Chains A and B, each alone.
Chain A
Amino acid sequence: MTMKQQSESCIPNVHHFAMKLFVALGICTVLIGTVRSQGIVQGHVKDADTKESLIGVTIKITDTKLGGRTDSKGNYRIANVPPGKHTILAHILGYSDKSASVTVDADQPATADFAISVQALQQEDVVVMGLSGDIDRKTLGTSIGAVDGKEIVRVVSPTAIDAISGRVAGTSVSKSSGTAGAGTYLTIRGRKTISGSSEPLYVVDGILIDNSSLVDDHQNQGLVQLGNRITDINPQDIESMVVLKGSSASALYGSLGANGVVVITTKRGTATNDITKSTVMFSSSAQTDMLAGSFPLQTIYGQDVPYAPGSNGAPGTPGSSTSYGPKLAPGTPTFDHSKDGFRNGTSLINTISISGGVPSFNYLLSGTVEDLKGITLNNDMTRHNLRLNLGALFIPELSIQSNTNYITTQMSLPQEGSNLAGILLGALRTSPEFDNNIAYEPDGSQRRYARYDNPIWTLENNHYSSAVDRITHSSTLNWTPFSWGSLEARVGLDHYEYENSERIAVGSGASVAPNRQGSVRHELTTTSNANTDLIAHFVWKPMDELVTRFEAGAQSTWGTQHLNDVASTSTLPFFDQLGAGSSQTAQSTELHTKTEGGFLTAQGTWLDRINLNLTLRRDNSSTFGVNNSFHYYKGGGLSYLISEEPFWSDVKSIISKFKLRASYGEAGNPSLPSAYATSSPYTTYGFNDPWGRTPILAARGGYAGIRQGGGTDQIEIFAGNPDIRPEFNIERELGFDLGLLNDRIDVEMSYYHQSIFDMIINVGLPASTGYDKVQKNGGSMWNTGFEWTINILPLKTDDITWRTGFTYFRNYNMVTSLNGVAPGGAILLTGGFTGMNNAAIVGKPLGVFYGVGWLRDSKGEIQYSHFDAESKTVVGDDFGLNLVGAPMQNSNGVILGDPNAHWQFSWKNDVTFFKDFTFSFLVDGMIGQQVWNGTKGTLYNFGTSADTKDRDAIWINFKGDTVMDYSNPNKPVPATRSLYYQAYGNGFYINEPFVEDGSYVKLREISLSYDWHGLTDWHIQNVRITATVRNLHTWTNYTGYDPEINTFAQSESRGYDYFTIPQSRSYRLSLSLTY
């Protein structure tokens, strides 16, 4: 089948599906359209304390699918209620749910009025669970995390998911860099995969949102920090985020659910009876970001061969790269290069929204403009976001809600990481006596201390711009023809164009062309994902004690991605299009995937205290092996609310709630198998040549040659595997929820164990097959862990309310098998450096550092060079300098540490005083993880690290012996530490000394807000002023800038710090007006 035929094959399916849907709806309307219920429930909802009417309260008849909302006067009315006894639930954010029992007679309105109280601990009772709809939290057998929109807005970050940090036990959140536009890596209950991504599935208003990080040379090398695309979602738009942590909750997403699911619901308008009532909200925030952290450098010694200034207008001459020269003369000016290129970025964020509705229509239109300035020169991010959310009720049973979001983002990203044009790479290597602020020679060329780019010059001349144009849309049709059943149909679309343009300037050290002639590169990725969901909801109450609920549904997802990459080298310095270069290259790729899923759920509640839910999903995906087309995922949860038992009443004043829960779930990894792993393609390239003759072409004599293997990668020839299966995660969870002292103390504990099978790994093939590797389901591992969440209301008076909360999370992980890998062998994870990788090794946590370490004996003792008296030679000196007592290196990979945190915690406080003031702070910490301080290791080589100040001291080795120079065996002399820094302990040769404790505790957020109601005469209901600080302080023993960042962005290689820009400290002042 040709490519054209393939792409067309998807399109009729979409139409076919939609046509089926609407024809089916029509048939069913005809068949059952005359069925009506006959009762009415109505009432009024008010605040129990203030007695004010509450608008927008959700009213549900829990044993039916019927419901509604209160209008602007706090009234509600629900028609077509079947006669009989029903439970009515009133729910609104910030208040405790309240239920009432009513008996409905045919044609006789029943009344249920509510006076509800502000919730003590602000924990949502009803959570949005994605495919299975809104679920009462107390019925769940698993732990669910939630963050509401008010908290998300308060976080000083353009990335909404940063708000999960410290707020949901079981999650690990780390910002990859301090660059404006950098990504955030989020995992839930540990890492899940060797070859794919451990990041969760994101669902926004039912749309499966693409969260790719651009995987190309740049990301793999960490040369610029490209964000993952969940960062496009505007924090201002979010009503709530729900984190489905366990597989039992995410099992309904089947092959997509193993990493957990983050279900994001955006804000929408509220239908009211008052046509004149609209809510207009305007907020404006000003923000300043500044460098947090520092890197200690020495200012005593100068360059070996100093930079030589020119004379008479001639340019100067760069000197040697290293600063192992003589001590600088007294009075020589020195410069703190750890601050080169940094600035205080000033940003502005404005949002306006208007929302409202009439009984049959609701609307919200919002727009946000963000103009962010990063902490380095020329690091900017501008994001415009326009969103329209519309809801309509066509006929009493049929409503539609649609959300359309357009986001356009432009970013200017700095060069960083392992990059000869990197800011920190150039800055931190610079000798202390060289002033980088003078970045140009008199002739306009770059002024640099050595071969690396001057950080100021690279910021001004090496440009990397990134632009994203994204549109997401969802339309959800709800049809509720019966009190016991409804049908939900959804179409979701996520489309974006992502363009990255890089200019490596003429004269840059990063220029790949000869003679620093610069390069231009343009890369355009177009990604489209679409999903259609069709879900039937049923409620059945076979007896008064038992309420059951069922869902049956189908979900189809389509994914396409096109990548066009063009570049030219040997360029003109003043023109940034392809024509600037004399050597031009281009390549293109495309991906197409489709997944079809069908699912069933059943949930039963017995006497409001015992809940059982079961789920089953069947998936088929184009990426599954043709011999393994269908996969089934089961899930289930059981909870027992013991405190609702009659016998509990005696202790209820002390233990107000006690729930035991258990759950089981199966799910697959959303990122694997990757497209096309099943086929063995051919390519026009030749075979690998280990001596750098790349790319070798198979073309000869005017004809194109082909051979087995895909792409331009000549290093390894992959065979397709027609048997490839999705990775498979089974999770078991046990836990309890405890409410004490009338729910003023709320405790939630969960224990989970995940068994992950069929992990996809690259397995070597004998070259005599004609291939090198094949992807196979050959790995397994487990995660097990504990989560604690404790929320306390220590103080509640008329004037002061203080809420405090703690989370604790500990995850253990171990790789248990890697079939096809020799015992003790390692699979290196994507990313990493030559000689320093994250690896999967049986018996070890996934991702341990694996690199060059000290040579040790069987007892773990470091081995040293020694003098052999018989041969009168030095034995074991790795660098041939005749040193005795020098530590020896093991050039084979050894395990050097673990980048995974041992445990995490957070402590959150909200104090509301005098009703209108709120003071909050959040402290979070990750403890026990290690970070490879590659920056420091490299600076040992260059002699700028502050550690190298003692270079002239006698070198005492790790066991306390003086290292001796035996160049003259008859007269050995002590060696200086200079040799250690330049050779034996140099980060270019050995990694072990630079794997450090990366534990940290951060004062993540601190904020004070004031609500002022003094402008009500101008119809401005509320004025809120908020001052917020993020990352105010970090407590850590880490000796680099920031232990939280990662050079390889959101890749599965974690814990790398190689000249990567640290996170910023941010101050924000916000003004918000609600009209």
Chain B
Amino acid sequence: MNRANIFRNPSYPVWIVLLISLCGCSIDPNLNNNPNDISESAILTIQGQYSLLITLQGVGIGDFYSNARSRVGSQWTHQLCAPPGLGRAQPVAYDSYILTEDGPPNEMWKNGYYAIKTTNDIINHADKVFGTGQVPYANLVVGMAECYKATMLGEIAAYFGSAPIPADPADPLAPPTYVDQKSVHSEVQRLLDDAIIRFASVPSAKVSQDLIFNGSGAKWKSVAHSLKARYYLHIKDYAKASLQATLGINDASGNLYALYDNSNAGGYSPWGHWSKDEAGSPYRAEKKFIDSLKSEAGDNRLAKYFNKNDSGEYSGYTAHKESSTDSLESNPLQASTMKLYSDYGEPFPIISYEENILIKAECEARGEGGGIASAVTDVNTIRLGAGLTAFSSSSQGEVLKQVLKQKWLQLFCQGQAYNDMRRTPEFPLWDKVPKQNLRFIYPLSENTTNPNVPKNDDALVSALLGI
């Protein structure tokens, strides 16, 4: 067939049209929505928002607050130690105050920012998802998310210094920028202020997805005030801390806990796992802490925190080579194992009435609120609860030391003692401070991927705290 024949043939254009029509090539974009996991659109539903909230109340806050942060913080404040020869060797490095960027800082940082992402998924969407007809419900879940986010940012600022405060970025995968520690604290206070406003208007009916307080706005409001008090205390704003503490948690029923699950291995707490499943129960009592608990007769916290050793005694290991004539104290196997928090499902406190009252007491001892007399009253609340006799003094120094000592003894494993230790020379272990890191180093996961990471610089912390 010659050229003329082809182009005269009336069917030729039909063929071309036919082929073009058959390869229309439109593919439904929804085909690539992953059916094996929950889609992003799920969080834009009320049930999705509640599910995010459930995560925050369990592993979200819990694996941040009671994991590496708690473990290292309690070791660095001599509450616990990890003697050599028991289980995993890694904790030895903590005792030596050696951090590796892929170790606990990495773990704390990642779990914190994972959970912050979850809080943002609520904060950024809940108002729209619940809509104008369900504003009280949105207030509750956003307020709760703000409390959790404030806690994580506050602790990250305390442990690391400068940090990102991711909110609702246009490019969610771009390396976040860092702001200084003071700015992080400002954001913490802003979040909590917003939460307090929101808690004023929450559903009157029980909200069962609030596993802590069943939707009680009053209790959450107290938590938010206590958290505000804690983070004002961190930056030595004792006046505001005092004020907030008076509005904070006023009895143990207002304590905020991270929840774990005793009945399911997938829901075990980190401390429960460490205590029960790690060979040799590698975490043991430290001599200095045990000695302090023993220093006054009748302290019921000994039996609350620890198990007796084979000799029927509470014994702490001489992790820091303290002089000791007791052979048991240099034998790791004879150091007391953990009792408190060692059950798989035991809730872990995030902020408590005890902490609130001790914050208030310290501020009072420093001249805020009711002054030293009130501080003594408050610290005696803790002492009497611990089975001790009432303490009495009018000396500001003595009262401050007593308050900080009781806080150290009372908030076992909660990591706040590490913050106090750096903040104030009245802390019982102050003599150790100059030898210790003021902060965690920035983690591997951030150093290798984010060009915005500042230098590791303890001076930043020092400048903020004035030490």
Interfacial residues, chain A to chain B (CB-CB below 8 A): 1, 3, 5-6, 9-10, 17, 20-21, 24, 27-28, 31-32, 35, 82, 482-485, 487, 534, 536, 540-542, 552-554, 556, 588-594, 596-598, 618, 620-623, 626, 629-630, 675-676, 678-701, 703-708, 710-711, 717, 719, 764-772, 774, 820, 822
Q: Is B354 an interface residue (CB 8 A)?
A: no
Q: A700-B259, A708-B117, A822-B448 are in contact. Are A683 and B173 (CB under 8 A)?
A: no
Q: Is the CB of B59 within 8 A of A686?
A: yes
Q: A708-B121, A769-B166 are in contact. Are A1 and B43 (CB under 8 A)?
A: no
Q: Which residues of chain A are within 8 angstroms of B32 by Cβ–Cβ distance?
A: 593, 622-623, 626, 675-676, 678-679
Q: Which residues of chain A are within 8 angstroms of B296 by Cβ–Cβ distance?
A: none
**Which of A3, A684, A686, A687 gathers most chain B CB within 10 Å?**
A687
A705 CB contact (under 8 Å) in B18, B55, B110, B443 = B55
> Bound state CA distance, A540 and B55, in angstroms?
68
Q: Nearest chain B CB to A628's CB is how many angstroms away?
A: 12
> Bound state CA distance, A700 and B208, in angstroms?
11
B48 CB contact (under 8 Å) in A590, A706, A772 = A706
Please name 20 pairs of A and B residues whose Cβ atoms are closer than 8 Å in the assembled complex, sorted by A.
Answer: A6-B30, A9-B31, A24-B21, A536-B19, A540-B6, A553-B19, A554-B19, A556-B23, A592-B35, A676-B32, A680-B40, A681-B40, A687-B63, A691-B273, A698-B51, A700-B58, A707-B55, A767-B445, A770-B114, A770-B166
CB closest chain-B residue, reference A679: B34
> Bound state CA distance, A698 and B264, in angstroms?
11
Q: Mark B209-225, 1 if CB is under 8 A from A, else 0.
A: 10100000000000000
CB closest chain-B residue, reference A589: B36
Q: Which residues of chain B are within 8 angstroms of A24 by Cβ–Cβ distance?
A: 18, 21-22
B114 CB contact (under 8 Å) in A5, A684, A701, A767 = A767
> Bound state CA distance, A693 and B209, in angstroms?
25
Q: Is the CB of A687 within 8 A of B273?
A: no
Q: Which residues of chain B are within 8 angstroms of A630 by Cβ–Cβ distance?
A: 25
> Bound state CA distance, A1 and B39, in angstroms?
10
Q: A9-B31, A594-B27, A697-B261 are in contact. Are A21 and B57 (CB under 8 A)?
A: no
CB closest chain-A residue, reference B164: A768
Q: Nearest chain B CB to A703's CB is how many angstroms away?
A: 5
Q: Which residues of chain B are within 8 angstroms of A6 by Cβ–Cβ distance?
A: 28, 30-31, 33, 35
Q: Is the CB of B11 within 8 A of A32?
A: yes
Q: Mark B151-182, 1 if CB is under 8 A from A, else 0.
A: 00000000000011010000011111000000
> Bound state CA distance, A21 and B110, in angstroms?
54
> Bound state CA distance, A708 and B37, in angstroms?
10
Q: Mark B265-295, 1 if CB is under 8 A from A, else 0.
A: 0111010011001100000000000000000
> Bound state CA distance, A602 and B268, in angstroms?
66
Q: Is B334 an interface residue (CB 8 A)?
A: no
Q: Which residues of chain A are within 8 angstroms of B166 by Cβ–Cβ distance?
A: 768-770
> Bound state CA distance, A770 and B123, in angstroms?
15
Q: Nearest chain A CB to B225's CB is how many angstroms away?
A: 25
A766 CB contact (under 8 Å) in B24, B40, B51, B449 = B449
Give the top 8 A-B pairs by smallest Cβ distance, nearest first. Answer: A770-B117, A554-B23, A681-B37, A705-B55, A697-B266, A686-B59, A705-B54, A766-B450
Q: Is the CB of B25 within 8 A of A691?
A: no
Q: Which residues of chain A are within 8 angstroms of B106 by Cβ–Cβ distance?
A: 767
Q: Is B38 an interface residue (CB 8 A)?
A: yes
Q: Is the CB of B266 within 8 A of A597?
A: no
Q: Is the CB of B23 within 8 A of A9?
A: no
Q: Is the CB of B37 within 8 A of A711?
A: yes
Q: Which residues of chain A are within 8 angstroms of B142 by Cβ–Cβ distance?
A: none
Q: Is the CB of B36 within 8 A of A710?
A: yes
> Bound state CA distance, A542 and B58, in angstroms?
77
Q: Which residues of chain A are within 8 angstroms of B273 by Cβ–Cβ distance?
A: 689, 691-693
Q: Which residues of chain A are within 8 angstroms of B57 by Cβ–Cβ distance?
A: 700-701, 705
Q: Which residues of chain A are within 8 angstroms of B27 by Cβ–Cβ distance?
A: 594, 596, 620-622, 629
CB closest chain-A residue, reference B2: A542
B43 CB contact (under 8 Å) in A700, A704, A706 = A706
> Bound state CA distance, A750 and B18, in angstroms?
39
B58 CB contact (under 8 Å) in A35, A618, A686 = A686
Q: Is the CB of A691 within 8 A of B274?
A: yes
Q: Which residues of chain B are within 8 angstroms of A689 by Cβ–Cβ distance?
A: 63, 67, 270, 273
Q: Is the CB of A701 within 8 A of B19?
A: no
Q: Which residues of chain B are within 8 angstroms of A35 by Cβ–Cβ distance?
A: 9, 11
> Bound state CA distance, A764 and B30, in angstroms?
27
> Bound state CA distance, A691 and B21, in angstroms?
58
Q: Nearest chain A CB to B205's CB is how many angstroms away?
A: 17
B113 CB contact (under 8 Å) in A484, A683, A705, A769 = A769
> Bound state CA distance, A766 and B110, in angstroms?
9
Q: A536-B15, A697-B264, A705-B52 are in contact. Are A683 and B259 (CB under 8 A)?
A: no
Q: Which residues of chain B are within 8 angstroms of A684 by Cβ–Cβ distance?
A: 38
Q: Which residues of chain B are within 8 angstroms of A708 by Cβ–Cβ distance?
A: 114, 117-118, 121
CB closest chain-B residue, reference A694: B266
Q: Mark B194-213, 1 if CB is under 8 A from A, else 0.
A: 00000000000000110100
Q: Is the CB of A706 within 8 A of B446?
A: no
Extra 6 A-B pairs, beta carbons < 8 Å, given A590-B35, A682-B37, A705-B52: A620-B26, A697-B267, A698-B59, A705-B51, A707-B52, A719-B172
Q: Is the CB of B14 within 8 A of A765?
A: no
Q: Is the CB of B34 within 8 A of A710?
A: yes
Q: Which residues of chain A are within 8 angstroms of B208 by Cβ–Cβ distance?
A: 701
> Bound state CA distance, A597 and B24, in angstroms?
9
B51 CB contact (under 8 Å) in A553, A588, A685, A704 = A704
> Bound state CA distance, A694 and B33, in angstroms?
27
> Bound state CA distance, A629 and B16, in angstroms?
23
Q: Is the CB of A766 within 8 A of B59?
A: no
> Bound state CA distance, A764 and B211, in angstroms?
35
Q: Nearest chain B CB to A104's CB is how many angstroms away?
A: 13
Q: Is the CB of B173 within 8 A of A719?
A: yes
Q: Is the CB of A622 within 8 A of B31?
A: yes
Q: Is the CB of B22 within 8 A of A687?
A: no
Q: A540-B1, A701-B54 are in contact. Are A681 and B34 (CB under 8 A)?
A: yes
Q: Is the CB of A31 within 8 A of B11?
A: yes
Q: Nearest chain A CB to B127's CB is how many angstroms away?
A: 19
Q: Is B312 an interface residue (CB 8 A)?
A: no
Q: A686-B58, A687-B110, A769-B113 are in contact. Are A554 and B22 (CB under 8 A)?
A: yes
Q: Is B10 an interface residue (CB 8 A)?
A: yes
Q: Which residues of chain A are within 8 angstroms of B264 by Cβ–Cβ distance?
A: 697, 699
> Bound state CA distance, A81 and B29, in angstroms?
48
Q: Is the CB of A596 within 8 A of B270?
A: no
Q: Is B94 an interface residue (CB 8 A)?
A: no
Q: Is the CB of A767 within 8 A of B43?
A: no
Q: Is the CB of A764 within 8 A of B445?
A: yes
A28 CB contact (under 8 Å) in B15, B29, B56, B274 = B15
